[in-house]
Structure 1
Amino acid sequence: MSVMKKLVVVLLFFAAAVTKAQILEPVKWSTSVEKISKTEAYLVATATIDEGWHLYSQDVPEGGPVATTFTYDDSSKKFKLVEGTVEEDGHVVDDKIFEMKIKYFDTKAVFKQKIRLAPNQKFTIKGSVEFMVCDDSRCLPPTTEELQFEL
C-alpha cells in the first residue's frame, strides 16, 4: 500500500473516531410503574436532562420544536389507556431559538400515563417517546427512544 493510501486510511479512521465521540445524548430515560389500585396504574417515564439542555413539552406552538410525544403498544388488549399522558409544570419561557413562548424542562421531567388493567396481571408494556432537546445555541435532531414498563 502506498504512503498516500495509508495516510488516507488513517485520516478516515481518525475522522470516524472523532465523529463517534461527538454524539450527544443529553437526555436519559427511565421507566417505572406506580400502582394506584388493583385495576389502575401509572406508567411513569422520567427524563434526566444534562445541565444546559432542555426538553420540550408535549404541547408546543405551531412552528416550534418537535413536541415530546408518547406512544404505547396496546395491541395486546391487556390494558387500556386512560386520558392522555400528563406532565409536570416545567418552565414557560421566551425561547431564543424559536422566538416564541414555549414550555420546557431542565434537569428532570416526569410524564405519567394512567392505565386500566385486570387485577394481578404481570406483563410488559412497550412504548416509545419522540423528543427534541436544545441548549441556548443549538438543537439536536428529534430522537425516538424505546420504553418498557414492567407490571
Structure 2
Amino acid sequence: MKIVGTFLKRLYDSIRREPFRRKIIIAPSYIEGQSWLMRICRELGPVMNVEVQTVQSFVRSQVQFSLYQQGLTLIGEQRSFWIIHHVMEQMASKPDSYIAVNQVKPGIAMHVHQAIMDLRRAGVRAGELRDDPFMSQQKGS
C-alpha cells in the first residue's frame, strides 16, 4: 500500500525540506514514531537528522536543566507509582482508613496512580481537590 497523499507523505515532505536541520517527531509512543520512520524510509526514501520523542520525553528534555538549576528533580512514572503506593500504605495503617493495609496491592495503587497522573496532566493541583464529593470522606482523602 503506497502512502502518497497521507500523513506520512506530508511528514516525509516536511523532513526532506531541511535535510541538515535536526527534527523531532512527537508521537504517541516511541514504537509508533519509529514505525512511522521505518515505513517512510521503506516506501518513500531515507531521511536523516530525525529523532522520535513522546510528549512527556520532549517536555522532560526541555525543562530538565531548569529544574536542576532550581534544585528540583523530575521523577518518572515508575518512581511516582511507588511513592503513591507508599503513601497509600501509610494512610491505610491509620485506624479510620478507608482501605486496610492488606488491601493496598500494586493493582489498586496503579489505578489511583493513573487517576492522580490524569489530574496532574489536566493541571489540577492538590489544593484544588476536595473530599466532600465522595460518599466517604476517607475515600476522598
- More relative contact order in 1 or in 2 (CA 8 Å, sep 6+)? 1
Richer in strand (by share):
1
| Structure number with larger C-alpha Rg | 2
The TM tier, using the shorter chain, reads under 0.3
Normalising by the residue count of structure 1, what TM-score does the alignment of the two structures yield? 0.21
Richer in helix (by share):
2
